[in-house]
Amino acid sequence: MDAITTNSLSRRFGDVNAVESLDLTVQTGEIYGFLGPNGAGKSTTINMLLGFTPPSTGSGTVLGSDLEHESVAVRQSIGVLPEDFGVYGRLTARKHVRFAIETKGANDDPDDLLARVELADVADRTAGGFSTGMKQRLALAMALAGSPDLLILDEPSSGLDPNGAREMRAIIREENERGTTVFFSSHVMEQVEAICDRVGIMRDGRLIAEDAIDSLKDRFDADSRLVVTLDTVADDIVPTLETMNGVTDVNVDGNDVSVVVADASRKAPVIEAVGASGVTIEDIRIDDSSLEDLFATLTTGERPTSRHAEENAANTTQLIREADQ
Ligand SMILES: Nc1ncnc2c1ncn2[C@@H]1O[C@H](COP(=O)(O)OP(=O)(O)OP(=O)(O)O)[C@@H](O)[C@H]1O
């Protein structure tokens, strides 16, 4: 049995097709990253999986239960970290987790779950005063109650500092090793690339690509970037490289010449051409296309150049900064 299946699942809000004809299969035991830019339809999909938002058309199952007509059974059997988790301000962290355990009919020790998310020290504090990251950790502890077979996490690293994000990844891996299927949405590519078996990429309500990350990179013929550090950068190096077959972009930053090649086999001729210009090569670094570049390619329709990749990296940094605040 697959953990999640959807069949032409669609949801309209007025004129907006938030999700359109979504056919999704999440296999039991995998970590599936559900990607897409803001407004792509990720949360609407998750809300339909959880029975919070009824589909306009289409159907689906979660752990074998119908998402529309058996949503209580669905929510009972899975662990959920919702997008906007609201705490009960006057209840302690322990009471939150105890409530989740009771709801699931489980017998976990609340303090064990709080320890897993590094909140053991604040178990007796009321959650109203928790920071965004602490609330996110508390939500994760609640999602883990009852050792669910499926975790559905909406932007799990949102609000977490880099340490928190790393711990979140470690918990996801541990749960997965225990046999839990994990479905999580994100627009922070680094999170996804680090832990997912497969990813699905949404754009404007549609699933535009779905595969293992390496297969996606191969399929979309992802770029490779080569950074060559020289003792001096000759004036004619950029025009020489730009006219070479397979070179899509050249940039100079100090003594670094960054060259993007559309096909990995074009790297060697680039290095030869640089060497033949009479300068000394001090270092060579190869940066194969990251998921960030691939994401930009698929979700903006543009083929990313180095500049785009830098902007994407800056966006990621900005997201992480925002998450830290
Ligand atoms: N309750 C609603 N009423 C009206 N429009 C909605 C509603 N919920 C979602 N939408 C619209 O549906 C589209 C998809 O939104 P959704 O929240 O699913 O995207 P998302 O991929 O989760 O985005 P984000 O990464 O920003 O959370 C957007 O255009 C959004 O404005």
Q: Does 203 lie in the same domain as 57?
A: yes
Q: Does 227 lie in the same domain as 210?
A: no
Residue nearest to atom 5 of ligand 1 (CA): 13
- How does residue 290 score in pLDDT terms, banded at 50, 70 and 90? low
pLDDT tens profile 244-275: 988 888 999 999 999 988 776 778 888 888 88
Amino acid identity, residue 219? R
**Residue 44 near ligand 1, beta carbon < 6 Å:** yes
Long-range contacts for 124-128 (Cβ within 8 Å, ≥24 apart)? 124/92, 124/93, 124/94, 125/92, 125/93, 126/89, 126/90, 126/91, 126/92, 127/87, 127/88, 127/89, 127/91, 127/92, 127/93, 127/96, 128/87, 128/88, 128/89, 128/90
Lowest mean pLDDT among 179-188, 205-214, 255-264: 255-264
pLDDT tens profile 18-69: 999 999 999 999 999 999 888 999 999 999 999 999 999 999 999 999 999 9
Q: Does 42 lie in the same domain as 123?
A: yes
Q: Does 259 lie in the same domain as 177?
A: no
Q: Does 167 lie in the same domain as 129?
A: yes
Q: Burial letters for 142-174: b for 16+ Cβ neighbours within 10 Å, e otherwise?
A: bbbbbebbbbbbbbbbbbbbeebbebbbebbee
Residue nearest to atom 30 of ligand 1 (CA): 39
* Enclosing domain of residue 9: 4-218
Mean pLDDT of 150-163: 87
**Residue 15 near ligand 1, beta carbon < 6 Å:** no
Residue nearest to atom 16 of ligand 1 (CA): 41
Which of left, alpha, beta for 317 (phi over 0: left; psi -120 to 50: alpha)?
alpha
Q: Which residues contact 39 (CB under 8 A, 6 or more apart)?
A: none
**Residue 203 near ligand 1, beta carbon < 6 Å:** no
Total domain count for the chain? 2
Residue 283's DSSP bridge partners are 229
The residue with greater pLDDT, 168 or 12, is 12
CATH number at residue 231: 3.30.70.100
Task: Give the pLDDT score at 311.
Answer: 43
pLDDT tens profile 216-233: 776 665 667 888 899 988
Mean pLDDT of 169-178: 91
Residue nearest to atom 25 of ligand 1 (CA): 38
**Residue 305 near ligand 1, beta carbon < 6 Å:** no
pLDDT tens profile 273-282: 888 888 888 8
**Residue 153 near ligand 1, beta carbon < 6 Å:** no
pLDDT tens profile 77-136: 899 998 878 899 999 999 999 999 999 999 999 999 999 999 999 999 999 999 988 999
- Separation of alpha carbons 137 and 141, rounded Å: 6
